[in-house]
Amino acid sequence: METLNEWAFVGVFFAIAWVFPALPIIGAWLVRPKKPNALKKQTYESGVETVGDTWVQFRVQYYIYGLVFLIFDVEMIFLFPWAVAYERLDWFAYGAGFLFIFLLTDALIYAWRKRALEWV
Amino acid sequence: MIELNAQTIAFAILSALILGGGLGVVTTRNLVHGALWLILSLLGVAGYFVLLSAPFLAAVQVLVYIGAIAILIVFAVMLTRSMTSLGEVRNRQWWISAITVVLLFLLLAVGIILPVWGRGAPGDVTTLSATVGGAVELGEALVAGDGFVLPFEVASILLTAAMIGAIVVARDEEDGQA
Amino acid sequence: MGLTGGDVLTTCVDFINTLAPCLVRAGWHGDIANLLSLLLGVVIVATVPLLTVILLIWIERKFAARIQDRIGPNRVGPYGLLQSLADALKMLTKEDITPTGADRVLFNLAPIITFATVVLIWAIIPFTPLHIGADLSIGILYFVAVGSIGAVKVMIGGWSSNNKYALLGAFRTIALIVSYEVPMILALLVPVLMAGSMGMQDLTHAQGGMWFIVMSPLAAIIFFIANLAETGRSPFDLLEAESELIAGYHIEYSGFKFGMFMAGEFMQVFTVAVLTAVLFLGGWWGPFVDQVPALGFIWLGLKTAVVYLFMLLIRNTVPRFRIDQVMNINWKFMVPLSIVLILLQSFLLRLVDVLGLRPAPELANDLLANLPQTLVLLAGNLVLGAIFLLLLQRHGRTLRKADEALAAVREPAPAGGMAEA
């Protein structure tokens, strides 16, 4: 129960944290002047008239970074329990962790060689 | 009976989050909105893990699903032109997917209900130990020789293969041109 | 909520930790007392960064002004101390413009999420040995998880503005944040390895004998740099590259919503400084903290100030990187370095264990008993750092030679050509 009590704190925090930034924004909404017009509401793109749809097609490179990150993310998650229990483990555990990280490095080297990490 | 305490209240709120988020995902016409509703739903699932005394899995849920996969979904949406908003929600195959979804739901419901409340199931299922999902036990189990060391390494190989596959698929055209 | 027993008076002295039992003794209902103490705790923990950030904005502006040979804010209040309040009032009364075609709900949600996610991290900061919002068993992972929502808020802000530059800025920022999360999390594994726990109080307790920055300076540096990038400040302020992206994902924001983005950034920098102090500079450890736990708050504040001022110094003196340089530094230098670092650190820790250099549990907080293992770990870190720096230097030389060769091809003989003309 002790840990759940700690998490109750986090839960209340999640419920309340939104209030702090929301209050001044609502306050500003109450007191600020509201005189919008079409010119004011134009998007600012360096003073040039907006052309076409905003939600344009993006390059595949962003997606590749996302993929590489996702895979590293999952790998690192596996390493956290290993790191926590490390003190109580033996050389075998070091070997297991070493092999795991070595395979991770393999993936990194492959991505590097295939120039997937370049910003093109 | 269900007794009214902080845990049940939290459970109700989280369930509302999950179901509301899920409803948002399937009703919105905008794919980016859909991804954001999905994030809300997944956040609720992370809360479930906390209630089940598995905070480590809750952190994994947020880190991997919200921090990485949701972002990846948005990237994917932005990669495909004119996919940010769908004009038509229903198409000709809508009834096929409806039947499939209902069947899947029934299958899952039976699969969950039978082992818990069916014949031969343990009547009392609220006996979770406080150490479920403890990171230390997980770590020891993962790398102990008589534990799960093989799946642990296989997971690493699987992820490496996933990375290689992803790069091959994503950069296919450029390699072809070169 | 650690303390138990004693009469009403002793229970109610340290009221932050023991409000609930104190109220129960005064005749309140248990659940309501619990909820009240939770609410009080949340408000206190959240107010600390909120109040500090008002002061920090002044410090930052004064600091930047001194570096740029200016005076800085000096009109409102003594030494311009009340400048931030005046700015807040100004922002409150400014007209707030929502651009045409913006996604209204998300547009308003983004600044709120930005600010809230930074406040949320404070739930796990250990202020003193006794005072911490929530001492979660997964403490450090909570920080990583909440931090990873950062990419979502950038996406919402950039996407909902209906502005191409905002969207482009958001995507760049997400790519940057997501990339630098890899070395950051890998660097966090090192303190976890040394402390054998992810809880923030355990991580601080483990530094009783020696700070982790001495036992693994490389991890501290990687964590610091990665976080610098996550906050999106110079030299990593690509999202604000005025000449190409105008102002990043929050171009379209005005009034207090923009203020929330700014305050969120200031607070994130401060939060990162606190985390660095907790994880690598010993947190609340300091002289006499055993006798007077409240002193820990002051020690933590001092260490945070050192880290924070160092971050300001970097922000104001280092020029901006290019986006491809930023990505290269991360994936081709920091990530390999942190991977090798984990292999090395875990090996050295096991070696220290085998050689019997690890201090006995009862001497864990003794400086002298910690020296042998510290020396081994420090030496390993220094050698590794030196090797990687040498590699970097060699790589830099090859790059420069290639550049020079390219320049020579483009302009065969610049000096001779000039003479003929």
Q: Using DSSP, state whether B169 is helix, strand or coil.
A: helix
Q: Do C339 and A104 touch (CB under 8 A)?
A: yes
Listed residue (C307, C321, C320) closest to C272, CA to CA: C307
Asked if B155's CB is within 8 angstroms of A96's CB, the reply is no
Please enumerate in sequence order all residues whose Cβ is within 8 A of that of A65, keeping only pairs 6 or more positions apart, or say none.
C175, C178, C179, C327
In three-state form (DSSP H/G/I as H, E/B as E, the rest C), the secondary structure along C192-250 is: HHHHCCCCHHHHHHCCCCCCHHHHCHHHHHHHHHHHHHHHCCCCCCHHHCHHHHCCHHH
Q: What is the pLDDT of residue C15?
A: 61
C75 belongs to a structural domain: no
C244-286 pLDDT, tens digit per residue, is 666 677 778 888 888 888 888 889 999 999 999 999 998 888 8
Q: State residue C248 phi and psi, 5-degree precision.
A: 85, -160
Q: State phi, psi for A86 to the nearest 5 degrees.
A: -55, -45
Q: Is C387 a residue whose pLDDT tops 90?
A: yes
Q: Would the CB atoms of A28 and C41 count as touching at under 8 Å?
A: no
pLDDT for A10 equals 87
Give the residue numbers spanning the domain of C112.
Answer: 94-318
Residue C103 lies in a domain: yes
Q: Where are the domains of chain A?
A: 2-113
Please give the pLDDT value at position B112. 83
Cβ of B67 and C171 within 8 Å? no
A2-113: CATH superfamily = NADH:ubiquinone/plastoquinone oxidoreductase, chain 3 (1.20.58.1610)
Residues near C403 by beta carbon (within 8 Å), at least 6 away in sequence: none
Q: Is the pLDDT of residue C421 over 50?
A: no
Cα dist. C22→C9, C25, C103, C352 in Å? 9, 5, 48, 47
- Closest to C109 in 3D by CA, of C264, C257, C266: C257
C413 has pLDDT over 60: no
pLDDT at C242 over 80: no
With respect to residue C114, please indicate whether it lies within any of the assigned structural domains.
yes
Residue C124 dihedral angles phi and psi, to the nearest 5°: -110, 10
Tell me which chain B residues have a C-beta less than 8 angstroms from the C-beta of C155. 71, 74
Cβ–Cβ gap B163/A68 under 8 Å: yes
* C136 chain-A contacts, CB cut-off 8 A: 3, 6-7, 10
Closest residue on chain B to C174 (Cα): B71
Report chain B's mean pLDDT, rounded to a whole number: 79
- Cα-based distances in Å from A108 to A101, A112, B162, C340: 10, 6, 12, 12
3-class secondary-structure state, position C132: strand
Q: What is the mean pLDDT of chain C?
A: 84
Helix (H, G, I), strand (E, B) or coil at B56: helix
Cα C128 to Cα C134: distance, rounded to the nearest angstrom: 13
Characterize B157-173 residue by residue with b for buried, 16 or more Cβ atoms within 10 angstroms of its Cβ, and e for exposed: eebbeebbebbeebbee
Give the count of alpha carbons within 13 A of A3, CB side only.
19
User: Which pLDDT value is given to residue C7?
Assistant: 44
CA gyration radius, chain A: 25
On the question of pLDDT at A31 being above 60, the answer is: yes
Q: Taking the C-alpha atoms of B84, B85, B88 and B92 in order, what is their torsion angle to the nearest 10 degrees?
A: 20
Helix (H, G, I), strand (E, B) or coil at C126: strand
Instruction: Read off the tokens for C304.
Output: 């945070």
Facing C174 at nearest CB: one of B59, B71, B134: B71
With a pLDDT cut of 90, the percent of chain B lying above it is: 20
Residue C122's nearest CA partner among B166, A16, B61, A57 is A16
pLDDT of A40 strictly over 80: no
pLDDT over 90, % of chain C: 28
Determine contact: C97 vs chain A, CB below 8 A.
yes
Using pLDDT thresholds of 50, 70 and 90, give the confidence band for residue C344.
very high
Q: Is C393 within a domain?
A: no
ipTM for the assembly:
0.88
Farthest-apart Cα atoms in chain A, separation: 71
Q: Which residues of B touch C156 (CB under 8 A)?
A: 36
| Pick among 1.10.260.30, 1.10.10.10, 1.20.120.1200, 2.60.120.580: CATH of B1-87 | 1.20.120.1200
CA distance C252 to C264: 17
Given this model, what pLDDT does residue A118 score?
78
Rg, chain B, Cα only: 21
Question: How far apart are alpha carbons A46 and A68 in whole angstroms?
Answer: 34
Number of domains in chain C: 1
For residue B178, the model assigns a pLDDT of 36
The pLDDT tens digits of the residues spanning B38-49 come to 999 999 999 998
Q: What is the dihedral of CA C312, C318, C320, C323, to 10 degrees?
A: -90
The first and second tokens of residue C370, run together, are: 């910690």
